[in-house]
Amino acid sequence: MRMRPTLSWEPPSGQDDLAPASREVAAVVAAVRAGGVVVLSGAGLSTESGIPDYRGAHGSLRRHHVPMTFQEFTADAQARRRYWARSQLGRRVMARARPNTGHRALAALARAGLVTGVITQNVDALQQAAGTQEVIELHGSLSRTVCLDCGDLGDRAELDERLRRANPHFEARAAGHRAARVNPDGDVELPQEAVRAFEVVACKACGSGILKPDVVFFGENVPPARVAACRRRVAQASALLVLGSSLTVMSGLRFVRQAAQAGIPVLIVNQGPTRGDRFADHRIDLPLGRALSDVVAQSGA
């Protein structure tokens, strides 16, 4: 059963009695020094690379961006045309993004053996680019495509070239409409007249299948095998460290609940409240680049 996508969340009045979040990283340093930490990362880890989040102070939802749902993408050819046209421009910004201080600090903790695994809700692959190897991409990656008919996995860069050949004048025509910022799902806002003539291409492997980015859309289920792998990793953790996630969607929140129910310490580093705060042993409200740099320095990684 698919649940209606949760696009926003407000702290309930019952959380007013929680102690204020700390501005110190001592609890994180202690957990990391002990080793065996598993990280659950969210969009807040990539905002310092120029990729906006959905729900932060400058998030795309505050700019009235409505993410496309899986149901809309699969049912409506015009919706797919709109998605691929907008993504064709947005991926330029995503491709230029580089790992930031927080990504590099997390990679240093992983190399030191203090962080033993990362579950990421991000689809930008910046943690891997920074050198972190043990990453489960909970929501997939924008670097790949998947055919909804035959299941073939493809390279997004190759699709980019195919779309350019099929739409040789599109980018020049759309340049005047280009939005100032890319959205977290890799597209930009474009009016209908800018995408009306955009030609979508089919899967090369089977010749006719519908291509989709290999990411979990709103309203789509995370593959069960991937969820199971994440649960195993959390079960083996000495602590679960949440980095830059509001935990609004259940796909991430369930691992916080799992850890708390198993007595595994939960630490959350995020700017602003999260849906998982009542499960946390420690909450730290700091920018991630600064916080993780301090953790690396103080843990000896």
The DSSP secondary-structure symbol of 69 reads B
Considering the candidates 139, 169, 177, 282, report the single residue annotated as catalytic: 139
| Residue written as token pair 């947005």 | 90
CB 136 within 8 A of CB 117: yes
Q: Can you read off the two tokens belonging to residue 165?
A: 């050949």
Nearest to 123 by CA among 192, 73, 53, 71: 53
64 a catalytic residue: no
Q: Can you read off the two tokens belonging to residue 255?
A: 């691992």
CB 8 within 8 A of CB 248: yes
CA angle 91, 101, 125 (to 5 degrees): 35
For residue 173, how many other CB atoms are within 10 A of its CB?
14
- Please report, to the nearest 10 degrees, the dihedral formed by the alpha carbons of residues 168, 169, 174, 180 taken in order: 50
- Residue 191: alpha-carbon gap to chain centroid: 26
Catalytic center residues:
139
